Structure 1
Amino acid sequence: MSKKIIETKCTCKGCGNVWFFDKQDEANLKAEKIEAFGNSMSNAGKSMMCCGGCFPALFIPDKEKKKLKELDVCDKCGSKAVSKEMVTHNVK
């Protein structure tokens, strides 16, 4: 009995680099984007409190800003010229 794994195969048109991602990678990236948005909104709220004269807000640490990895951008050369195709692997 074999299990099917469906992935997206990306090939960079600039340098020829090949990488794969699946639905789980897409879901993880979406969660990271939501977290990054929440962090930026928290930092904006802290900034607005400080503008109003709330001195203790100066001691609230800023949330970290993470650089998110884009799945359709080449890791090696940074090109967005990428061809994609769906690939199915049969795993035992």
Structure 2
Amino acid sequence: MGKKIKETKCTCKACQHVWYYGKQDVIQNTGDKIQNFGSEMSNTGKDMMCCTGCLPALFIPNKKIKENVKDLDQCPNCGSKAVKKETVVHDV
């Protein structure tokens, strides 16, 4: 009895491109989205402090936003959101 790996198989309904992602990809993607949201909120708070003319707020650095956060519900080939998903189990 071997190990089993569960993945999600995605097929684009527009261009028929097929790709897979696993549980680790979902965790990473969710973490990146949460981190970006927190950074955006921090930057907004800093910008609001600067509106009142607070000079020290000008020296607070902006938080970095991750650029390459994937949308797992979007085709990486054509960008379509018309995606069919199914769970696939592989024996290892």
TM-score, normalized by length of structure 2? 0.91
Name 1:76's counterpart in structure 2. Answer: 77
Distance 1:34 1:59 in 2: 25
Distance 1:59 1:17 in 2: 47
Aligned residue pairs: how many? 91
Q: Percentage identity across aligned positions? A: 60
Name 1:90's counterpart in structure 2. Answer: 91
Distance 2:50 2:88 in 1: 52
Residue 62 of structure 1 aligns to a residue in which SS? coil
Distance 1:60 1:15 in 2: 46
- How far apart are 1:15 and its partner, in Å? 0.9
Distance 1:51 1:38 in 2: 20
Give the AA of the match of 2:81: K
Aligned structure 1 segments of 4 or more residues deviating by more than 3 angstroms: none
Matches for 1:1-92 after TM superposition, within 5 Å: 1-67=1-67, 68-91=69-92
Give the AA of the match of 1:89: H
| 1:33-66 residue CA offsets vs partner (Å, 9 max, x unmatched) | 1101110011011011101221121122222223
| Farther off after superposition, 56-65 or 78-87 | 56-65
TM-score, normalized by length of structure 1? 0.91
Structure 2: segments with no counterpart, 5+ residues: none
Structure 1: segments with no counterpart, 5+ residues: none
Distance 1:64 1:36 in 2: 8
